[in-house]
A and B are shown apart, each in its own frame.
Chain A
């Protein structure tokens, strides 16, 4: 139980916090310049900040900035590197968009992307610009962006109420959650209006009614409050994060959890947004649940529901589908099971006289709080149905109604002919039977029509006096009433039974298919055949064409689809599926990423790996509703697991073979090492013995042998290192060390070529201990230093600069002041046995190749260039672990 006197932070929360901090260290950081409306100077502030960063030495790239013809903004762009836009042709119109691929290729330190809420032109990779930004962040680039508060998804309906303007371009709140920093650009309404009057505010292409509505003082004040409050909440949360991380004792919130039940009504979205805002304020998780009843949904409802569920996912909710006809009971069951503290429901419409869903939830809620919210709708439509409840509508066609009427009339006719023989009560029973049977065949509407027609027909044709709706005997009136009730009740019950049965069948079919997919794929003697069978089954269940791409052993996707696929994607489609595979996200049709494709692509994702992609082509009329999506995801997971298992089996047997050959190679390498080094050791020892015993150490023959032996030893060392590198015997063994030790050892190992006096070392004094393989790095650095000394006149100055260019990335730069590298051959110096023209004799041509091999084995790389001011410059970069704890200790 939660003890109020317990001041220890919840370990889960701490872990989550640590993971959040850790995550924040890896990808790029997002800086948002937030404003209440256009015209407050966000872009200006962003450019100012970017220029500052550029002055600090960062590589800044302007991917998109809208100056809207404002000269002071344009002036700020002058010294910045502005990327040309990409031109897209869409139905004869040329549209300019950010060149995402070019930004990713250039990898600047900081990217400027104006107007986060922008929707991309059709044909772009992502539907929304914020998705581009997410991709940039994922690639490790820092991003500056601007945003107006009205575009934040959870604030949309409030803004709409304030301004009366519908906001179409929205960004999910989750992107604000990942922001490293949100900077509020504040301006009073008065000043903004003054700017507006001076014509210094860009109102978009349509400076019309909507805009003038927006820029009213009252509206602006309200928007400003919204922006300020939003930022304040964020600051609050940051403070909370810091407290939690520092274990400052503070009142810990009880564990709140919100649950909102939605139905396929237009109000659902507003309920979801309300809950998201409440959950943010409470800083608690929230669940969006919808109850699938046995009543099928029509197309509009299905669309509404899908949109609402997509919104919930975007806003970060946990979406839980439930099934059952008692909506209230299902919601309450979920609430209990998940320890929900508050249930959010929509306020029922005023016309409802019956006991509403809300009433029933309140009755059964016990100690759970119920929050009744008045949902709003864009425009002026008044709520007229209970927003939480699915209104049961059947999807009958007019043909069904016609058939139902015909069946009733013909039955009536038959028993009217038999009336003299059977009597009129028998006719009633027969008509009831007809309605009952029809209930198993027709949807609800036609059945109700039948019930009505049958009742009226019975009255008209059977009950005396015949051929009139007048009923003579009082008991016949009762009989007629009973007939009508029984007929309609029976019709209703049978259709419901049938619907439930259909839903059950569908679920059963899916479960059975899932089972068969698993069995056929996992248990097949030949994995290829099993996979083909599984694919066929999936296509059959989904009634769609499917395609499968299984990743190759090098973790890339093949060009051709799996042989059992139903369709072959073209080049464009291939780009979509590659994207889905690379980003581990569903892409293509019905998604926000590349929605113009024909098929939807699901990554085959297990906990540890992405095994490929599954493409589903649902046909032009197909739709991807939530249930179908879940089914496909379940299939995808099964396929992924089967493929992963297959992969492991292969990997194990490959590893066995590899182990064998590895052992052989090591033995061989050891014995070669022994055979080569022993004679050298003997020669060296003999030479030393000679020099020690003889007085004349200046024997010229001995000196020649000595020089040659040293050269031979270097060649042998290099050859053995190269062999070890290439046979992948080399396993980095990272350990904590001081970089200074590594550099000292490298200098010693580089040989007599580099005296301490000619090496200038520039190393931060507060460099914390690093975790890396000091021997491999030392050897790599020694070769580079040796190379610098070898190719420059004796006594030439060599500089070594070391920096942590960002947490976890170490850079060492070795620069000499010699003649530099041969022009045009800068990259070739790392090739094996490459020797620069005119270089002194005695080099092995392997030193730098080994350095590169070593750095790559360490996960880094080495590059070379000629310094603009002369001399060669080598840059070694590699990932390291940094000991933050000890650096803060030493402070």
Chain B
């Protein structure tokens, strides 16, 4: 597996390289946006770690250009922690967002999540922990128990479960279910998400990051 680090801070690059190589990644580096884009084209990495504050291009700009021709998973790694920046990055095609200073363990876990999502996205059955969604028959099970969802709830859950562990913005969730509508996504989503939470609790958790969106996670037995 190849990871590309686009960051102008050489120390950050060196440390990330150490951490990633320790986990079996082969690492490429780029110090500017332009070289970063070239590196992606040249090496076809499996995952990109992108800083937003680059000397030549803004990270968002790099992301947008990249998304024109590549759907490589991208993790944003930045000091900017305002919600509006996070939403912009996520809606411009980033797969996740980690703020600096970061915890290395968390970063590695997030990287794993966005890559796993890529590998399972075309399966007819989505399995997330004890939850399994049969997309062809529109059936859902939690462990051995069959669950009943309305079509809207199923569509919503399919999208969230297909992106397990990954934060989805309100607009992304909303448009996955109601692609054509243009209105404030908050109120309608809230009602459906609440229904989902009631039906899935306690094994599956739908976390809300205020101002950003929702994230579906599996509650680990060990944590309990």
Residue numbers of A with Cβ under 8 A of B are 670-671, 673-674, 677-678, 680-682, 684-686, 688-689, 692-693, 713, 733, 735-738, 741-742, 745, 769, 773-775, 778, 883, 886, 889
Q: How far is the CB of A770 from chain B (nearest CB, A)?
A: 11
| 8 nearest CB pairs, A to B | A774-B210, A681-B101, A681-B100, A677-B79, A685-B15, A688-B104, A684-B101, A736-B186
Determine if A670 and B80 form an interchain contact, defined as CB atoms under 8 angstroms apart. yes
Which among A742, A774, A778 has the greatest number of chain B C-beta atoms within 10 A? A774
Known: A733-B211, A774-B210. A685 touches B16 (CB 8 A): yes
Do the beta carbons of A741 and B191 come within 8 Å of each other?
no
Judge whether B135 is part of the interface by a CB distance below 8 angstroms: no
Q: List the interface of chain B (C-beta within 8 A of A).
A: 9, 11-12, 15-16, 18-19, 22, 53, 79-80, 83-84, 100-105, 186-187, 190-191, 208, 210-211
Tell me the complex Cα distance, A685–B101, Å.
8
Measured between beta carbons, the chain A residues less than 8 angstroms from B16 are 685
Query: By the criterion CB–CB under 8 Å, are B104 and A689 in contact?
Result: yes
Which of A680, A733, A886 contacts B84 (CB under 8 A)? A733
From A686, A693, A733, contact of B15 by CB (8 A): A686
Q: A689-B104, A745-B210 are in contact. Are A681 and B12 (CB under 8 A)?
A: yes
Bound complex: CA of A636 vs CA of B210, how far in Å?
A: 47
Cross-chain contact of B79 among A678, A688, A737, A738 (Cβ < 8 A) = A678
Which residue of chain A has its CB nearest to the CB of B18?
A689
| CB closest residue in chain A, given B83 | A775
In the complex the two chains form, what is the Cα distance from A459 to B9 in whole Å?
Answer: 121
CB nearest neighbor in B for A738: B208
A682 near B15 with CB under 8 A, answer yes
Identify A678's interface contact among B9, B19, B104, B187, CB under 8 A. Answer: B9
CB <8 Å contact, B210 and A685 = no
Q: Considering only CB atoms, which chain B residue lies closest to A769 in the complex?
A: B190
B20 to chain A, nearest CB (A): 11
Contact flag A688-B186 (CB < 8 Å), given A673-B80, A682-B9: no
A680-B101, A686-B15 are known; give 15 further A-B pairs, CB within 8 A: A670-B53, A671-B53, A673-B80, A674-B79, A677-B79, A677-B100, A681-B79, A684-B102, A692-B22, A692-B104, A733-B211, A736-B190, A738-B208, A741-B210, A775-B211
A774 touching B211, Cβ below 8 Å: yes
Do B187 and A736 have beta carbons less than 8 Å apart?
A: yes
Q: Are B101 and A773 in contact (CB under 8 A)?
A: no
Q: With a CB–CB cut-off of 8 A, which chain B residues contact A742?
A: 210
Distance of A745 Cα from B101 Cα, bound (Å)? 19
Q: Which of B12, B79, B84, B191 is most buried by chain A, counting CB atoms within 10 A of its CB?
A: B79
* Alpha-carbon separation in the docked complex, A518 to B165 (Å): 64
CB distance from A445 to the nearest CB of B (A): 73
Determine whether the beta carbon of B19 is less than 8 Å from that of A689: yes
Task: State A713–B101 Cα separation when bound (angstroms).
Answer: 8
Determine the distance from Cα of A883 to Cα of B80 in the docked complex, in whole angstroms. 32
Kindly state the separation between the CA atoms of A670 and B53 in the bound complex, as whole angstroms.
9
A residues near B191, Cβ cutoff 8 Å: 886, 889
Question: What are 28 A-to-B residue pairs whose CB atoms are below 8 Å?
Answer: A670-B80, A673-B79, A674-B79, A678-B100, A680-B101, A681-B12, A681-B79, A681-B102, A682-B9, A682-B12, A682-B15, A685-B19, A685-B102, A686-B15, A688-B104, A689-B18, A692-B104, A735-B210, A736-B190, A737-B208, A738-B208, A741-B208, A742-B210, A769-B190, A775-B211, A778-B210, A886-B187, A886-B190
Please report the C-alpha to C-alpha distance between residue A670 and residue B58 in the assembled complex, in whole angstroms.
Answer: 13
B26 to chain A, nearest CB (A): 18
**Within the assembled complex, what's the spacing in Å between the Cα atoms of A736 and B188?**
11
| C-alpha spacing A847/B62, complex, angstroms | 36
Quote the shortest CB–CB distance from B16 to chain A (angstroms).
Answer: 7
Question: For the complex, what is the distance from the CA of A684 to the CA of B103, rounded to whole Å?
Answer: 8
Choose among B15, B22, B105 the residue with the greatest number of A CB atoms under 10 Å from its CB: B15
A741 vs B197: C-alpha distance in the bound complex, in angstroms? Answer: 13
A692 partner residues in chain B, CB cutoff 8 A: 22, 104
Smallest beta-carbon distance B174→chain A, Å: 13
Chain A min CB distance to B76 (Å): 14
**CA of A853 to CA of B120 in the docked complex: distance in angstroms?**
46
Q: Are A733 and B83 in contact (CB under 8 A)?
A: yes
Candidate in B9, B18, B80, B210 with the most chain A CB atoms within 10 angstroms: B210
A832 to chain B, nearest CB (A): 22
For A674, A684, A689, A745, the residue with the greatest tally of chain B CB atoms inside 10 Å of its CB is A674
Rounded to whole angstroms, the CA-CA distance of A745 and B18 in the bound complex is 32
On chain B, the residues within 8 Å of A733 by CB distance are: 83-84, 211
- Which chain B residues lie closer than 8 Å to A774 at the CB level? 210-211
B9 touches A735 (CB 8 A): no
Across the interface, name the chain B residue whose C-beta is closest to A729: B82
Inter-chain contact A689/B100, CB cutoff 8 Å: no
Q: Which residues of B contact A681 (CB under 8 A)?
A: 12, 79, 100-102
A741 to B206, CA, bound (A): 11
Please measure, in the bound complex, the distance between the C-alpha atom of A769 and the C-alpha atom of B191, giving whole angstroms.
Answer: 10
State the CA gap A742–B207 with chains docked (Å): 11
A671 to B83, CA, bound (A): 18
